[in-house]
Amino acid sequence: MSVMSDNARAGSAGSGRAVPAHARGLAARLSALFEKDQRIVARLSSAQRRLRHANDRLRPVTPDAFGPTEPGPGVAVLAALGEIHCQVHRAFCEYQSACEERRRLAVEVGELAAGLTDALCAAGFSRQDARRADVHQLARGAWPASGETGSWR
């Protein structure tokens, strides 16, 4: 049995296992990325709702709405169509931007997850335990006891 340093003991959560500082740092970065992903998903959902709402506003428009070009209801309809078109365009651009941001985030998450797994394995954890570990707990320096599998991701 080896003697753990005070830093290593600070990383244990009653399970007798220490979370190495490097792994804690990687887990903290992953935890932050997961939170960022949640914000991106909220943006995607919002953009999708706006697209659907704007599209629903276009449905009642009939071809005869384009007839008159003099002041009156036809001009108002054309103005409304222009406004709706701009709303759809902005929402679609935001949706595409959020999708691309989420794709880049997924790449970063994958790279960090591989690094975290390697760091935990180098510290003596099994690959299975390293992959199943809850990064939020690891970021706090806690390693779940062996019976706490329900809290692992």
Report the pLDDT averaged over residues 16-25: 82
Could you give the 3-state DSSP secondary structure of residue 9?
A: helix
pLDDT (0 to 100) of residue 63: 53
**Choice between 150 and 108, residue whose per-residue pLDDT is larger:** 108
Confidence tier at 68 by pLDDT (50, 70, 90): low
Residues 6+ apart with CB under 8 A from 151: 134, 137, 144
pLDDT at 22 over 60: yes
Report the pLDDT averaged over residues 34-49: 89
| 72-121 per-position pLDDT tens digit | 666 677 778 878 888 888 888 888 898 899 899 999 999 999 999 999 89
pLDDT (0 to 100) of residue 111: 92
Across 28-32, 35-39, 87-91, 127-131, least confident range = 87-91
pLDDT (0 to 100) of residue 66: 58
Domains and CATH numbers, the chain: 18-143 (1.10.287)
Across 41-50, 68-77, 83-92, 134-143, least confident range = 68-77
**DSSP per residue, 29-93:** HHHHHHHHHHHHHHHHHHHHHHHHHHHHHHTT--GGGGS--STTHHHHHHHHHHHHHHHHHHHHH
Could you give the 3-state DSSP secondary structure of residue 27?
A: helix
Average pLDDT, rounded, for the chain: 76
